[in-house]
Chain A
């Protein structure tokens, strides 16, 4: 017998435990995607139950369906357009009145609804007793009790969903908004009917209510469909609104909200008892410390420091093991594959590129583990609260601080971490300035250059580069806020949920989702980019077009050694010297080298020569590559052990001003292609191109000014 298919959607307030229920229902059979055209996550899962194949969709957590935010519109449109067989509204049992507000709006939409009173154990413990049979009767829909954290009620949810899907809705409940509002609803619906104005799968009554509430989404829909018809209804709605405002001395959206709460209060009057008054006892006590006026920020900074330590200090061990593993793999491939070009592609291109990204995985795992713990425990909201005043001054949200700190380690997880910002504008500005938080991959470049030009005070010079980065981030945040991302900033109202012990299952699932996405990225986009970069650095091949006859030099070296005129050490040093010269020439001959030469005029005003230009281009692949590229270009074979000689070479060829300027340029232009691939995934192609364009422009401008002005002083 083929399984019957049922679709259920989970809705609920933020912090109602919806995600826990979703995880209970679907386990690891989840798929995370995005709703079309927006960056809101869409989680889907499948569960088999009693011969039914049930698809579960996790709708975004919202307080209402007013169309205030993207999430609300998505939830509303999904319920109306996709017509799931059943909607399960997850309700926090210890806070019924507030949570049922969303349920009322789902009832208004006439959805087949089941209420899951979650965390019912906590509610009972604090003396909140609800007669669910009576309430179910009053609301005309099934109500079940669940305890998400212990998996209680999973079967009941599925039973109720199947039952409702098979038998259809029991009865229709209509919410009345009071005489004045009802009169105007009647007026508006009759105009809607008479003028045959489209209502897009919604009922006329519902559209009338939304028009009174001045729901921007609905107004736009009608306008788009037919401007003439909208004008007709607009007059009716406006006079209705002014009648209501003058009689009831408040605007319709407030009166309607009040009526919804009134309906809830009425239903709860008989079915709900509070044995003792509600207290936010434990949460209140913890908050007195964590959000303390004096200690709040130090505690937050301490937690950030611990997180940073976890991600990077502890993470460096598994990262080291992975690096070793990839090294071994390279060695193995080198021995097995004999075709030169093929070997170079596999070792330098694929393993070098993809491996370089995969090695960061432990950092990513620990970062998202830490974020999941902070979020699930309820601390994240406090962090935003504590930091909001400071971040506000530069036009950012309190939570922006977290990805910015992570940016000092690696920009890739920092971009991903920006997801904790719900507001798109806040998220984008945070991502756009994150590149100035100097990541770990840039440090080797600073160490090389600072050591070459300012050996006595290398530490201070490097620190100054970091400071310039932070300063630039502050300036650019202000600039971006005042220009491209003006307006539409989220006014600050945020729930501070009760503290809760995070469940292991929940934290692990959240971590795994993010990490899997990262690994998938490494296997696809990063692989393609790595191969592309390899092609650019390998072709066209130099063949016999060397400027000197290196073969002859090799032979001469060989002869000298065999005749005993030079020692083995001298022989091998000369041999690697010749090899390095060849590598330098073939790099200069390759497409990347030519690009460097081609770009030289652009970099000239900054004091950079073609070698620096090539290194900058190579740095697009990953910033630490700049060091090895400079090494190759200056014909120093092993950059690790002979970094001294590279520093001597740099010192001979450039002035300290140019050296410092090059560090600045490295700091300011976008981090690397892996980061850009992630940026594109998070924010779209347009934003990624903007990021690349503006950071390059900024890097060039700053370096130009520093060099041109600095020339007169040094």
Chain B
């Protein structure tokens, strides 16, 4: 895995991973990276491999979970509060978490 978060969008690497698992997003999805402070969001789906999915789930990033953003720097990590705990999450990682505004 390359280091995430250099501000780039979907990479070839990521596409490959998803193609193998049978779901290639057609267009850029609304992700945690697009979420802004002051609004509420819900996790829809994590676009990652087994390891990443398991890890994020263990940290509380599961489909259906509500979260909000408290701070972010452009291209750098952002702060989200999910299941009562605050996390810093790199933008590359955040892009893999598909979310919706509620």
Determine if A98 and B50 form an interchain contact, defined as CB atoms under 8 angstroms apart. Answer: no
Chain A hits for B52, CB < 8 A: 491
Which chain B residues lie closer than 8 Å to A250 at the CB level?
Answer: 45, 63
**Binary per-residue interface labels of chain A (484-518) against chain B in the complex, 1 for a CB within 8 Å, 0 otherwise:** 00011101111111100000000000000000000
Let me know if A98 and B77 touch, CB within 8 A. Answer: no
Q: With an 8 A cutoff between CB atoms, is A64 at the interface?
A: yes
Q: How many residues of A contact B (CB 8 A)?
A: 50
**A261 proximal to B (CB < 8 A):** yes
A94 to B85, CA, bound (A): 10
Complex: A570 Cα to B66 Cα, angstroms = 87
Asked if A705 is at the interface (CB within 8 A of a chain B CB), the reply is: no
Contact B1 A63 (CB under 8 A): no
Q: Is A137 an interface residue (CB 8 A)?
A: no
Interface members, chain B 1-32 (any A CB < 8 Å): 1-6, 21-22
Closest B residue to A94 using CB positions: B84
Inter-chain contact B53/A101, CB cutoff 8 Å? no
* In the complex, chain B residues whose CB is within 8 Å of the CB of A68: 51, 54-55, 58
Chain A residues, Cβ within 8 Å of B45: 250
Q: Does A280 contact B (CB under 8 A)?
A: yes
B71-102 to A contact mask, C-beta < 8 Å, 1/0: 10101110101011111111011000000000
* Chain A positions within 8 Å of B53 at CB level: 251, 253-254, 257
Residues A257 and B57 in contact, CB atoms below 8 Å apart: yes
In the bound complex, CA of A491 to CA of B63 (Å): 20
Flag if B79 contacts A492 (CB, 8 Å). Answer: no
A214 to B52, CA, bound (A): 11
- The interface residues of chain A lying within 8 Å CB-to-CB of B6 are 392-393
- B92 with A491: CB separation less than 8 A: yes
Interface flags for B28-55 (1: CB within 8 Å of A; 0: not) read 0000000000000000011000111111
A287 touches B77 (CB 8 A): no
Contacts of A488 in B (CB 8 A): 1
Q: Among B1, B52, B57, B71, find the residue whose CB has the most chain A CB atoms closer than 10 A.
A: B57
Asked if A190 CB lies within 8 Å of chain B CBs, one says no
Whether the Cβ atoms of B90 and A491 lie closer than 8 Å is yes
**B63, A98: Cβ atoms under 8 Å?**
no
Most buried by A among B50, B59, B62: B50
> In the complex, A288→B70 CA distance in Å?
9
Chain B hits for A579, CB < 8 A:
none
Expressed in whole angstroms, the Cα–Cα distance for A494 and B55 within the complex equals 11
Shortest beta-carbon distance, B45 to chain A, in Å? 7
Question: Do residues A254 and B79 form an inter-chain contact, with CB atoms below 8 A?
Answer: no
Docked complex Cα distance between A64 and B83 (Å): 15
Chain B residues closer than 8 Å to A323, beta-carbon distance:
none
A470 touches B (CB below 8 Å): no
Given A392-B3, A496-B79: A254 in contact with B84 (beta carbons within 8 A): no
- Give B62 Cβ to nearest chain A Cβ, in Å: 6
12 A–B pairs (Cβ distance < 8 Å), ordered by A: A66-B54, A94-B84, A261-B62, A278-B84, A280-B81, A389-B76, A389-B77, A491-B90, A491-B93, A494-B88, A495-B86, A498-B86
List 18 extra interface pairs beyond A64-B58, A253-B57, A388-B88, CB under 8 A: A63-B55, A63-B59, A95-B83, A97-B83, A98-B84, A245-B22, A250-B45, A253-B54, A254-B63, A287-B70, A389-B76, A389-B77, A488-B1, A492-B88, A492-B89, A495-B86, A495-B88, A497-B85
